[in-house]
Amino acid sequence: MADTSLGTPEQLRDPDYTPPLAKAIPLGIQHVLAMFVSNVTPAIIVAGAAGIGFGSDQGALGFPDMTYMIQMSLLFAGIATLLQTIGMGPVGARLPIVQGTSFAFVPIMIPAVAGLGTAGLAGLMTGVMIGGLFHFCLGFVVGRIRYALPPMVTGLIVLMIGLALVKVGVQYAAGGVPLMGKPEFGSLAMWIPALVVIVVTLAIKFFTRGFAAVAAVLIGIIAGYIVALLMGQVSFSNLARASYFAPPIPFKWGFEFNFAIVLGMCFMAIVSAIETVGDTSGITKGGAGREATDKEIGGATFADGLGTAVAGVFGGLPNTSFSQNVGLIAMTGVMSRHVVTIGALFLIICGFIPKIGAIINTVPINVLGGGVIVMFGMVCAAGVNMLSDVNWNRRNMVIFATALSISLGLQLVPEALQHLGKTAQILLTSGLLPAAVISIVLNLLLPENLDD
């Protein structure tokens, strides 16, 4: 129930209303804390896949490249959020939409940089930038392509995103991908902090209410961090190397056009755009009790794409709207976009301070793994929830079965495509592209009136 001391019911439903600052500031920080872990995790995963994260020889140097990627995740989440809340011409919904680094793109980004170190980041960031521009252009047509993406298609894609990530979560909880084959990987000492994260997260989620339930994963990671600290798994030796201020660097890793990455980013931009449409509608329904306007949906998509494109220029990862913050607005009943603006300013300040990224880097990989196991599982659950709206007749079951079998099979056995070129391998072995293409094409071509 909304706190009426923040304003009248009419004011609380007004995006342009600003609550008293004494309450608006903590509400804004609450939005940041609800998305904080999810926002920085993709950067850690991509850095690990590239070979510049946990377990790499960068450890002795304080993980400078991973710290920078975390820094950019914070900075451009804040900038992209400002584009949504304040707007710039047609850009921005001017609604309390929180932007952050998207998990949806991770299955495409991992094979794009796998084992390449910083050399793989030039092609990735170029793809992020071009994909962001494509995403921006979707703002002109997003309302017209929604018919091709019914719940069966979008639910399958979201499910495949989660299935592509759950392996990473277990590997991290067991000690991190780079540690596979070493004695400490999978040991009880690695699993104990991860299990503490999972247990505390579930306990907070199901036995508390309010903001604590929303930030359950963050609280769980803090609990696991404390256990890991007591077990001697936390090191602060690299904190001193991180500076207190550093600006973003344009084209930090160079510019390199990789067709596979660009195509993958453009495809995922469509998925991200549809997700943003859903989040925008969810915010207006939950906070104001109305449908989102075409102008708001188009503006939200423009901001999504522009925020991603600018992030790519400076070495950041793709941005999208964060669904957990939609639920937070419904919970607080505060529709004010200016509250979220305060949270965005907090993210931007953090993004200029590498020391914050270095502090995040002190979180052991197994502790993070406990958190992402829950988060990635929730991605799968979100996909299943979307699929619950499907009419499971014979036609839809055949479409789903075919798309799932081929896409998941290619994901599990990437060697099946070893004789194809690198571009095809990156696009097909993630499972996302074949799942989407097969389900969309079959859904458009097969007649609706197949006999059951």
Shared domain for 227 and 285, answered yes or no, is yes
Contact 66, 252 (CB under 8 A): no
**pLDDT: is 305 or 452 the higher one?**
305
Shared domain for 320 and 433, answered yes or no, is no
**pLDDT: is 114 or 312 the higher one?**
312
Within a domain: 365: yes
Q: How confident is the model at residue 240 (pLDDT cuts 50, 70, 90)?
A: confident
Structural domains of the chain, count: 2
Within a domain: 3: no
| Residue pLDDT, tens place only, 48-103 | 889 888 767 787 777 889 999 999 999 999 999 999 999 999 999 999 999 999 88
Within a domain: 38: yes
| Residue pLDDT, tens place only, 180-206 | 556 788 889 999 999 999 999 999 988
Shared domain for 451 and 310, answered yes or no, is no
Q: Is the dihedral of CA 96, 335, 161, 220 positive or negative?
A: positive
Structural domain of 196: 15-243+253-390
Whole-model pTM? 0.81
Identify the domain boundary among 390, 408, 438. 390
**Pairwise CA distance, residues 274 & 270, whole Å:** 6
Shared domain for 400 and 413, answered yes or no, is yes
Return the pLDDT at 1: 46
Beta strands, E only, 45-188: 99-101
Shared domain for 396 and 381, answered yes or no, is no
Shared domain for 75 and 117, answered yes or no, is yes
Task: Indicate the range of 174-178, 241-245, 360-364 predicted with least confidence.
Answer: 174-178
For the chain, what is the mean pLDDT? Answer: 86
Shared domain for 91 and 25, answered yes or no, is yes
Shared domain for 78 and 174, answered yes or no, is yes
Shared domain for 39 and 169, answered yes or no, is yes
SS3 356: helix
| Closest-CA residue to 249 (of 419, 86, 407, 71) | 71
Within a domain: 7: no
Within a domain: 115: yes
Within a domain: 5: no
Return the pLDDT at 232: 92
Shared domain for 223 and 341, answered yes or no, is yes
Shared domain for 382 and 395, answered yes or no, is no
Return the pLDDT at 450: 63
Identify the domain boundary among 363, 390, 417. 390
pLDDT over threshold 60, residue 437: yes
